[in-house]
Structure 1
Amino acid sequence: MKEIQITTEYITLGQLLKQADVIQSGGMVKWYLAEHEVFVNEELEQRRGKKLYEGDTITIPAAGTFVVTR
């Protein structure tokens, strides 16, 4: 499990995908979510603007599991 550290109250799913090096640019977020499964707290999520808070767990079968920390 990899940690994604934030300094703000939340991070969006699109920002997390970029920060975790799952995608190369923010423009790829919509495509990535349409083509790949991404789970937030064990629920399928397809909204790139989904707000993620400290303690949220993001599972991407192709890339691993990430947890948001502060």
Structure 2
Amino acid sequence: MQKIEIHTEYIKLDQFLKWIGVADTGAMAKVIIKNGDVYVNGNQTLERGKKIKKGDIVEIKNIGIFQIV
């Protein structure tokens, strides 16, 4: 599990995917999320604007697991 540090209260899920280099563009992030490949705290999410906060665990299928710190 990789630890990813954020310096704000939250980051939106699509922005998070771009931040960590999984998606090059917002459109690519949207496709990854809409395909059902992203889980936040164990729950599949299809919301690209979902707020990711410190303490959350984001799992991306075939990519990895990330803890927000």
TM-align CA RMSD: 1.1
CA contact (8 A) 2:36 2:46 kept: no
| Whole-Å separation in 2 of the counterparts to 1:34 and 1:53 | 20
**Equivalences, count:** 69
Q: Cα offset for 1:15?
A: 1.1
Alignment partner, residue 43 of structure 2: 43
Structure 1: gaps spanning 5 or more residues: none
Alignment partner, residue 31 of structure 2: 31
Structure-1-length-normalised TM-score = 0.89
Alignment partner, residue 63 of structure 2: 63
Q: Structure 1 runs of 4+ off > 2 angstroms?
A: none
Structure 2: gaps spanning 5 or more residues: none
Sequence identity, in percent?
A: 39
